[in-house]
Structure 1
Amino acid sequence: MGNDTSGLSKLTDTVESMISGVPSPLRKNFFKALSQLSTAAINIPTTWLEGKSAEIKASYEARVQIIKRQGDNIAENIETPKEYITKASEKYASKVIKEQLNLDQIALNAANNLISEGEKNKEDTTEEISDDWLNEFENYGRLKSSDDMKLIFGKLLSGEISKPGTFSIRTIRLISQLDNDAAKLFQRLCSLSISMHLGGKIISDARVVSFQGSAASNSLSKYGLSFDNLNILQEYGLIITDYNSYMPYPLCVIYENNRIAASIVFGNKHYGLLPTDNDKYDKELKLSGVTLTKAATELLPIIPLEEVPEYKSDLETFFENKFLKLQLIK
């Protein structure tokens, strides 16, 4: 229990340290989320939450009294040993505390994300994080006990605080439904994916390129995405049903004076495609392969990626055969 108290203390300290550095529009969303999700919000010493502390405490104490009265009523109206009722009450209380600790840790992770990305969060916005979104997030987040999932949910929360509408409710539900095997497959899918970015945003496409033949014929099996594995990803709504769809990528070709309309993002790095022969390079550049769904594309930037050197090497060779070179850009 000492570690749990320490974690809550760290969360409160982190929240307090953020107050002066967070732009006011972002701070409003941050406090709104925290006041719903985290016990640390009860003690935040800020004028924004003046009056909220007593309200939250009163609400909490009222819920405790209601639960106590319900327990007393059950004890009075059913013939059950008192020891059994006491044990059941303790088990229920333990479950509630565990779920709240999960939310507190997720809130701490989100706070740390906002601190580390402070310079990226200067953009002024009047959008308010949705109550419906927070309700769904709370319902699923409280059940996440693994460190990996709490990190991902922390990124979901900080992303939505920074820019409401970044992650749909459907996306929250989808990531919550993944079992361990599906989660590992999704991590591999994201690790192999390229995406087209324009102005820092993914535009309409994220995919794993199939270099030879169709992915439906196991062309990606040596990278861990066999036909059977793709079917699992498709059943979870992470990839579209056509395993050999294509998208033109000529916007990612570097033209004269190092101009580029869009970048290719692979492994969280931005690249352009530099022609090695201006006459011979593939002008249409249709890239075929496995396409991520909208929900999977939303999640792509926050999933921890693995390094798959063999795939990167094959990707570079694939472009070289089209007289294009993957050029790292800032």
Structure 2
Amino acid sequence: MNNDDPLDKTTEISGELTESGIKGKTNLRALAAIDRLLGNVLDYFNPRLEDKARVERAITDGKVLIIEALAQDRVREVGRSRDYKEINTIEVVRESIKELAAPTATNNASDETDVEIDPDWLNYFESYSEKASTTNMRSFWGRILSGEIRRPGSFSLTTLRVASELTQQTAKDFQELVKLRMDGFVFSSEKEPRLGFDALMQLQAAGLIQGVEGTGVIGTPPTTDGEKYPAVMVQSKVVLFHTKHDIAFSGYILSAAGEELAALLPIDAQGTIDFLVKSAPKVAKITLNEIRLLSDDEWEVGGEIAILKSPKPKDDDN
């Protein structure tokens, strides 16, 4: 298969969509976005179907006839004209389907919303994604598209603009920095900075973080309702500091755009836990606990999973 042939690439998209298992409203939005970004193939294909209901069934079932039509018509034209902007867009769409179909991708109630992707959002997205000529940037924009397909409104137009202006180095630095984070806050130590000052200033100038000047913003973790111990949620676990004293950690606040983009990137859970333990040397006992979810916005500390730091003899921080 010719890796530079857009027809081959879109045919691969066909197969990936067939095997993806993407269903429900997410699938409808995915096909609508693909149709908008890769050409009006719904109009091309519609006469071959008996009625609108049959079109909807084809989409909902994950059929790829629409994409096959694109492969037979639209992309042949793209290949002849060597329109690399459209080739870039095809690759971005392909990456988004991979992301939607990934085993780690889970459907939830918000995925089943009836809200559609804003057409203006797709217009802006297309103008940015068509410039993604490298594998990393195509993957990056593909994740943005898949995130918007899952939950329309996840990425503002401001965030799209910020993302479009990132250099590869700044994007790489951002990905490294947000590995250790809690909500809209990234952890970093002045004594052991995770990035150089110039790199941090670039991230701030790009509109991703705030508070670089000076020593950084101080973040204080919330106190649990039970034993009144400070606690930090790290993914599906809680780091619990067995002390009645306040605890603060240094770091930087994510901007609105930074927080939206950080949601695309993984958290280094173990690295975050290690950083938290190391940053609280005066706390005698630190444990890793389960989380008991009370609602979408509320949680409490559950049972102890592991002791991260044990009190020394005669050590009483409480």
TM-score (norm 2): 0.69
Deviation at 1:208, TM superposition (A): 2.1
Aligned to 1:299: 261
Q: Which has the higher contact order (CA 8 A, sep 6+)?
A: 1
Alignment of 1:264 with 2:247, yes or no, is no
Deviation at 1:281, TM superposition (A): 4.2
Would you say the 8 A contact 1:103–1:138 is kept in 2? yes
Matched to 2:14, the amino acid is: T
Aligned to 1:135: 123
Q: How does 1:68-147 map to 2 (within 5 A)?
A: 93-94=81-82, 96=83, 98-116=84-102, 117=104, 119-121=106-108, 123=110, 124-147=112-135
Would you say the 8 A contact 1:159–1:166 is kept in 2? yes
Counterparts in 2 of 1:287 and 1:107: CA distance versus 1, 3 Å: same
What is the CA deviation profile of residues 60-102 of structure 1, one whole-angstrom value per residue up to 9, with x for unaligned ones? Answer: 69xx8xxxxxxxxxxxxxxxxxxxxxxxxx9xx32x2x22121
State the secondary structure of the residue aligned to 1:120.
coil
Aligned to 1:6: 8
Aligned to 1:315: 276
Pairwise CA RMSD: 3.8
Matched to 1:298, the amino acid is: E
> How far apart, in 1, do the equivalents of 2:231 and 2:260 lie?
18
Q: How many residues were matched structurally?
A: 266
- The unaligned stretches of length 5 or more in structure 2 are 60-65, 292-318
Deviation at 1:106, TM superposition (A): 1.4
Would you say the 8 A contact 1:34–1:41 is kept in 2? no
Would you say the 8 A contact 1:107–1:154 is kept in 2? yes
Alignment of 1:230 with 2:189, yes or no, is no
Aligned to 2:55: 47
State the secondary structure of the residue aligned to 1:302.
coil
Alignment of 1:166 with 2:145, yes or no, is no
State the secondary structure of the residue aligned to 2:263.
helix
What is the CA deviation profile of residues 178-225 of structure 1, one whole-angstrom value per residue up to 9, with x for unaligned ones? Answer: 11222222122212x3113xxxxxxxx222243xxxx4xxx444x2x2
Counterparts in 2 of 1:134 and 1:281: CA distance versus 1, 3 Å: same
Counterparts in 2 of 1:15 and 1:101: CA distance versus 1, 3 Å: same
- The unaligned stretches of length 5 or more in structure 1 are 65-89, 197-204
> How far apart, in 1, do the equivalents of 2:285 and 2:236 lie?
15
Q: How does 1:198-213 map to 2 (within 5 A)?
A: 205-210=184-189
Structure with bigger helix share is 1
Counterparts in 2 of 1:118 and 1:195: CA distance versus 1, 3 Å: closer
> How far apart, in 1, do the equivalents of 2:90 and 2:283 lie?
50
> Percent identity of the aligned residues?
23
TM-score (norm 1): 0.67
Counterparts in 2 of 1:139 and 1:220: CA distance versus 1, 3 Å: farther
Alignment of 1:327 with 2:288, yes or no, is yes
